[in-house]
């Protein structure tokens, strides 16, 4: 299925990809869980996140923090506080630095806590998405604070698309571990 463009597709793909991610996680071996991520030998993996995240906890916390961005952004704007999606001092050009701050913030967070936080935030995001109509989610111009995009596109980006990103990274790690 392509990128969701309806409420039903959004909720379905977010749920399906979350379940696929959890299945992938539950299938990780002890070796895969204990081996730090290292993608330095793959020249195609140049984006900063390939160097930033060192383990499963880092990925789960990244997903959780992006859920928090979405939840805080929607709630603030619904309550009349005009707030950008990316909080100051960051913007869409510097959000990589924000991701590093999220990473630093959670270096002491245990894996089990990261799993629990992500499960809770995933549920909260889907409950929030379900409160909106299809038109509110996928029609442009409904909410001024969304800008030129749709509200639903933010939900897709922070759920199913982000879960795809996480699975791609975990599969690459599994492949690296199998070569050891």
User: For residue range 51-70, what is the model confidence (pLDDT) as tens digits?
Assistant: 999 999 999 999 999 999 99
Confidence bin at 179 (pLDDT 50/70/90) = confident
Alpha helices in the chain (DSSP H): 7-26, 30-34, 49-52, 56-78, 95-105, 111-131, 134-138, 151-158, 160-178
Predicted confidence (pLDDT) per residue in 94-137, tens digit = 999 999 999 999 999 999 999 999 999 999 999 999 999 999 99
Confidence bin at 1 (pLDDT 50/70/90) = low
Residue 159 confidence (pLDDT): 98
Domain boundaries, the chain: 7-19+49-178
Residue 176 confidence (pLDDT): 92
Distance of CA 100 to the CA centre of its chain: 14
Helix or strand or coil: residue 47?
Answer: coil
Residue 43 confidence (pLDDT): 87
Q: Please state the pTM of the whole predicted model.
A: 0.97
Residue 180 confidence (pLDDT): 78
> What does R_g of the chain's alpha carbons equal in angstroms?
17
Question: What long-range pairs does 143-152 form, CB within 8 A, spacing at least 24?
Answer: 143/77, 145/77, 145/82, 145/83, 151/74, 152/4, 152/5, 152/7, 152/10
Residue 150 contacts by C-beta under 8 Å, 6 or more apart in sequence?
A: 137, 138, 139, 140, 142
Kindly state the average pLDDT of the residues 171-178: 94
Instruction: Give CATH for domain 7-19+49-178.
Output: 1.20.120.450
Predicted confidence (pLDDT) per residue in 2-55, tens digit = 789 999 999 999 999 999 999 999 999 999 999 999 998 888 998 999 999 999
Residue 173 confidence (pLDDT): 96
Distance, CA of 27 to CA of 9 (rounded, Å): 27
């Amino acid at each position: 299925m392509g990128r969701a463009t309806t409420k039903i597709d959004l909720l379905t793909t977010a749920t399906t990809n979350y379940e696929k991610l959890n299945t992938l996680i539950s299938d990780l071996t002890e070796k895969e869980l204990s081996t730090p991520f290292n993608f330095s030998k793959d020249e195609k993996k140049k984006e900063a996140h390939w160097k930033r995240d060192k383990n499963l906890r880092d990925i789960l916390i990244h997903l959780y923090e992006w859920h928090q961005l979405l939840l805080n952004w929607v709630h603030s704007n619904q309550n009349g506080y005009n707030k950008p999606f990316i909080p100051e001092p960051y913007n869409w050009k510097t959000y990589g630095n924000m991701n590093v701050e999220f990473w630093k913030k959670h270096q002491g967070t245990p894996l089990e806590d990261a799993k629990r936080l992500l499960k809770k935030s995933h549920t909260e995001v889907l409950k929030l998405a379900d409160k909106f109509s299809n038109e509110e989610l996928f029609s442009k111009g409904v909410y001024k604070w969304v800008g030129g995009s749709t509200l639903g596109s933010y939900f897709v980006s922070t759920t199913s698309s982000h879960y795809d990103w996480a699975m791609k990274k975990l599969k690459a790690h599994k492949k690296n571990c199998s070569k050891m």
